Amino acid sequence: MLNASRQSMSAPIRVGIAGLGRSGWNIHAKAIAKMSGQFTITAVADPDASRCAEAQGRFGCRTYRDVHDLFVDPVVDLMVIASPNHLHMEHTLAALRAGKHVLCEKPMAIDVADADAMIDTADAMGRHLWVFHNRRFEPHFRKLQQIIASGDLGDIVHVRTAVHNFTRRWDWQTLRQYGGGMLSNIGSHLLDLMLELFPIEPVEIFTHLDRVLTLGDAEDHCVVMLKPNRGPLLHLEISNAGAFEQDLWLIMGSQGTLRGNPNQMDWKIADFSQLPNRELQPQTTAQRVYPHDDVHWQLHHWTCPEGQNNSPYTHQQFYLDIFNTLKQGAQPNVSVQSVRRLVNVLAQCRAEESQNKPTGIEVLS
């Protein structure tokens, strides 16, 4: 919780934002601005002077060109690390050592050693550390957790999540030197959700990363498969070379199947009570056809509540969780240990892929 001697428990949490790019400005600053009774932006840092001036004009906050000057500013309680991926560990450690609570953008770190350094430093400083996996707050994911827990789909054997687009990209997130690539940018979100649904320890990992339309040197086509000793096969597919939209989820079980997206999901459950008992018959069938069941289905449908099927909703839910932790002593919904598990799996994916690096496809100009 916040130190009451530093700030009244009824006062808004004072936030500093390191990096005013797409994430820092469009996600974090906008979310905080809508929660004025709980948070206030008191300082920001960005090497771009025009962005600092924009923030000062919008929020009346202090501005810095050097993030390290921001980290030691005493008017900041919570530090948001929205700098490029490769700087997350460095900036998080500096902010924690300056006595700040830290919300770090995903991906948390490149490997488990870096993640452990961040976690250990937070513990040593008595500070809270969050990683911004806001998609755990999506209503469809909460519903998905309920459906899986109910056992209605039976034993889950295969889980596929897919995001297909057809587009080129040419920003810093297409460059490996900045920690870019689809596996880190989008894959970290989706693998996180799958590992929350099924916290497996994969014994086999297949990773295929390729460059198709990107102008950078990091992948824009990504396939990952995680196979555990026990539990479902987890299948991730992200591509900027897929012109046909896919369902985000396809989940297959011994009693039914679910498919859907954040706005709506459908699932079918087989009613085995309406089926006759069957026995194995290895001899030739009299009808010369494949035997099959005429399944009676229980059909289910879910639609996202109005006003909740959008990213700003999950952003504010994440900040509300932070507020409840700092002001009321609640346990965070997104634990750093669960994110550490994700970092470990992502590092294993990269290691497996490095044994067979893609040559890439000629990029269209």
Q: Give residue-wise pLDDT tens across range 78-117.
A: 999 999 999 999 999 999 999 999 999 999 999 999 999 9
- One domain for residues 48 and 173: no
Residue 142 shares a structural domain with residue 179: yes
- Per residue in 234-253, pLDDT (tens digit) is 999 999 999 999 999 999 99
Reported as a pLDDT band with limits 50, 70 and 90, residue 361 is: very low
Quick one: tokens of 243?
Answer: 């012109």
- Structural domain range at position 57: 13-132
- State residue 357's pLDDT score: 58
When pLDDT is averaged across residues 317-323 and rounded to a whole number, the result is 97
- Give the integer Cα–Cα distance in Å for 225 and 242: 18
pLDDT band at 356 (very low <50, low <70, confident <90, very high): low
Q: How far apart are the C-alpha atoms of 248 and 149, rounded to whole Å? A: 19
Q: Which residues contact 178 (CB under 8 A, 6 or more apart)?
A: 84, 85, 86, 172
Is position 187 within any domain? yes
CB of 311 within 8 A of CB of 134? yes
pLDDT at 3: 52
| 213/120 same-domain check | no
Residues 142 and 126 in one domain: no
Query: For residue 257, is it within any domain?
Result: yes
* Least-confidence region, from 13-27, 244-258, 341-355: 341-355
Residue 361: inside a domain, yes or no?
no
How high is the pLDDT of residue 195?
Answer: 96
Q: Please report how the helices 336-353 and 188-197 are oriented relative to each other, as an axis angle in degrees rounded to 10.
A: 120
Q: Which two tokens stand for residue 263?
A: 């706005």
* pLDDT single digits (tens) 31-85: 999 999 999 999 999 999 999 999 999 999 999 999 999 999 999 999 999 999 9
Q: How many CA atoms lie within 13 A of 101 on its CB side?
A: 17
CA dist list (Å): 243 to 173, 225, 240: 21, 22, 8
Residue 362 pLDDT exceeds 50: no
Distance CA 172, CA 181 (A): 9
Q: Is the confidence at residue 359, as pLDDT, over 50? A: no
Does residue 291 have a cis bond before it (omega within 30 degrees)? no
Give residue 4's pLDDT band: very low, low, confident or very high (50, 70, 90).
Answer: very low
In the chain, the percentage of residues whose pLDDT exceeds 90 is 81
Label residue 329 exposed, middle or buried (CB < 10 Å: 0-12, 13-18, 19+).
Answer: exposed
Whether residue 28 contacts residue 1, with contact meaning beta carbons closer than 8 Å, is answered with no
Half-sphere exposure of 335 (CA within 13 A, CB side): 6
User: What's the confidence (pLDDT) of residue 346?
Assistant: 94
CATH number of the domain encompassing residue 109: 3.40.50.720
Query: Are 243 and 148 found together in one domain?
Result: yes
Same domain for 213 and 348 = yes
How sure is the predictor about 6, in pLDDT bands with cuts at 50, 70 and 90?
Answer: very low
Cβ-based neighbours of 290, under 8 Å, separated by 6 or more: none
Query: Can you give the pTM of this predicted structure?
Result: 0.91
Statement to judge: residues 175 and 107 lie in one domain: no
Is 70 exceeded by the pLDDT of residue 189? yes
Residue 5 falls inside a structural domain: no
Confidence of residue 200 (pLDDT cuts 50, 70, 90): confident
* Same domain membership, residue 105 and residue 152: no
* Mean pLDDT computed over every residue of the chain: 92
**Higher-scoring residue by pLDDT: 324, 354:** 324
Q: What is the pLDDT of residue 5?
A: 40
Tell me whether strands 39-45 and 13-18 are parallel, antiparallel or unpaired. Answer: parallel
Least confident of 30-34, 171-175, 215-219, 281-285: 281-285
Q: Are residues 120 and 262 in the same domain?
A: no
**8 domain-assigned:** no
In a domain, 157, yes or no: yes
**pLDDT for position 291:** 83
Report pLDDT for 287. Answer: 76
Give residue 38's pLDDT. Answer: 97
For residue 364, name the pLDDT band (cuts at 50, 70, 90).
very low
Q: Residue 234 burial by CB count (10 A; 0-12/13-18/19+): exposed, middle or buried?
A: buried
145-168 pLDDT per residue, tens = 999 999 999 999 999 999 999 999
Q: Are residues 124 and 242 in the same domain?
A: no
Is position 326 within any domain?
no
Question: What confidence score (pLDDT) does residue 273 get?
Answer: 87
Is residue 268 domain-shared with residue 254, that is, in the same domain?
Answer: yes
Q: Are 228 and 301 within one domain? A: yes
Among 108, 132, 156, identify where a domain stops. Answer: 132
CATH number of the domain at 202, please. Answer: 3.30.360.10
pLDDT range class, residue 1, cuts 50, 70, 90 = low
Q: What confidence category does residue 303 fall into, taking pLDDT thresholds of 50, 70 and 90?
A: very high
CA atoms in the 13 A half-sphere facing the CB of 348 = 17
Last residue of a domain, one of 132, 155, 176: 132
- Among 97, 132, 167, residue at a domain's last position: 132
Domains in the chain, number:
2
- Inside any domain, residue 323: no
